[in-house]
């Protein structure tokens, strides 16, 4: 049975849409349309506790475009998931009302645990069937899936087997939140970087207390910080998801790119062809999170996945 679904992921930094045909017999997901816009919904939330009016306006304008795409492609089911920024905001009702008026459905403000489970499903559905790029040997379970977002980072460990349990935690370090807390200068001096690094390390201690990371055989990295670091490490002149999807990145390359980005000015980062303009001011923090977790948990490489929570949302609708 094939069903056309529309999945929307509203994060702290980006608003993303996936319209796909999901075939539950062949266990295949075929993209019809995949879009991403940087709306920075979570701008200032860490400091004010509220969603800014400008951020809400940007988000609703893009959401209106997505509603048109959904109508044009005749998706039969819509599910919108909202993550860290709207969990933290005192005026979340303004966001909810705007979504209902613009899209016709209510957003689901999910917990970090739910977010982690959806990300895990999206990232590992192909890996569980042995699908990898370039003909390399498939990554081996158990998988530690890490989703570095704008306001939070989710860690989830599992085997990928149907019905198997997951160990998961969401911690409040993400590329936007970390930048706003610590990385204020251009470029940030060692003291600011050290403060950001210490913040990440405290969060990783919380992860280690909940998730048995040592059981993982494969680290899978998701979301824009990871895919962008991968594109830069690969030397891509422009961002190409066909090259980044399932690319394997060594820890030494992650460290090299992290040091590069944290040492550059805003203008120097903006000149990188594979870096989306909306990530220029936060990519250093995102790279730092990836670098620190790989060192803390001893991972020699990370498998990059372009498939993430959006794909997990799509699979969740097909199962209903």
Write the pLDDT tens digit of every residue in 239-249. Answer: 998 899 999 99
- Which tens digit of pLDDT belongs to each residue from 53-102? 999 999 999 999 999 999 999 999 999 998 766 766 888 889 999 999 99
Decide: 178 and 196 in contact? Cβ < 8 Å.
Answer: yes
Q: The sheet that has 248-250: what strands, in order across it?
A: 167-171, 153-158, 143-148, 218-222, 301-304, 248-250
- Which has the higher per-residue pLDDT, 160 or 242? 242
How would you class 255 by CB atoms within 10 Å of its CB: exposed for 0-12, middle for 13-18, buried for 19 or more? Answer: middle
Minimum mean pLDDT among 120-134, 169-183, 288-302: which range?
A: 120-134
pLDDT at 84: 61
Distance between CA 253 and CA 256 in Å, rounded? 5
Query: For residue 93, what is the DSSP state?
Result: H
Residue 11 pLDDT class (50, 70, 90 cuts): confident
Instruction: Give 95-132 as a DSSP string.
Output: HHHHHHHHHSS--EE--HHHHHHHHHHHHHTTGGGT--
CA–CA distance from 299 to each of 105, 127, 233, 289, 293 (Å)? 41, 18, 17, 13, 8
User: Which residues make Cβ contacts (< 8 Å) with residue 242, sequence separation at least 6?
Assistant: none
Distance between CA 19 and CA 21 in Å, rounded? 7
Distance between CA 36 and CA 47 in Å, rounded? 26
Distance between CA 109 and CA 115 in Å, rounded? 10
Residue 195 DSSP SS3 = helix
Evaluate if residue 277 carries a pLDDT over 70. Answer: yes
- Which tens digit of pLDDT belongs to each residue from 108-152? 988 767 877 888 888 888 775 544 545 567 888 999 999 898 888
Domains and CATH numbers, the chain: 2-109 (3.30.420.40), 114-304 (3.30.420.150)
Decide: 268 and 239 in contact? Cβ < 8 Å.
Answer: no
Query: Torsions phi, psi of 15, nearest 5?
Result: -125, 120
pLDDT at 131: 46
Please tell me the pTM assigned to this model: 0.80
The torsion angle over the Cα atoms of residues 183, 38, 147 and 51, rounded to 10 degrees, is: 70
């Amino acid at each position: 049975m094939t069903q056309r679904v529309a999945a929307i992921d509203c994060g702290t930094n980006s608003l993303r849409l996936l319209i796909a045909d999901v075939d539950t017999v062949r266990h295949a997901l075929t993209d019809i349309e995949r879009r991403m816009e940087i709306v920075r919904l979570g701008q200032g939330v860490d400091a004010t506790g509220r969603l800014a009016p400008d951020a809400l306006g940007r988000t609703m304008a893009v959401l209106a475009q997505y509603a048109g795409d959904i109508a044009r492609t005749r998706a039969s089911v819509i599910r919108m998931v909202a993550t860290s920024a709207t969990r933290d905001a005192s005026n979340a009702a303004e966001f909810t009302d705007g979504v209902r008026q613009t899209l016709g459905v209510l957003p689901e403000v999910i917990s970090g645990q739910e977010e982690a489970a959806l990300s895990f499903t999206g990232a590992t559905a192909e890996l569980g069937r042995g699908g990898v790029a370039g003909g390399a040997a498939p990554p081996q379970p158990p998988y530690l899936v890490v989703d570095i977002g704008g306001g939070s980072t989710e860690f989830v460990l599992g085997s990928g087997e149907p019905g198997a349990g997951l160990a998961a935690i969401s911690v409040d370090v993400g590329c936007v939140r970390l930048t706003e807390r610590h990385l204020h200068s251009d470029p940030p001096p060692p003291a600011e970087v050290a403060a950001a690094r210490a913040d990440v390390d405290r969060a990783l201690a919380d992860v280690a207390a909940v998730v048995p990371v040592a059981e993982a055989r494969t680290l899978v990295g998701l979301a824009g910080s990871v895919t962008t670091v991968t594109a830069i490490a690969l030397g891509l002149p422009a961002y190409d998801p066909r090259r980044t999807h399932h690319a394997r990145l060594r820890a030494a390359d992650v460290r090299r790119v992290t040091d590069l980005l944290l040492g550059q000015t805003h203008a120097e980062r903006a000149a990188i062809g594979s870096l989306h303009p909306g990530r220029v001011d936060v990519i250093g923090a995102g790279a730092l999170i990836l670098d620190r977790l790989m060192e803390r948990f001893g991972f020699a490489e990370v498998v990059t996945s372009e498939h993430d929570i959006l794909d997990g949302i799509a699979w969740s609708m097909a199962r209903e």
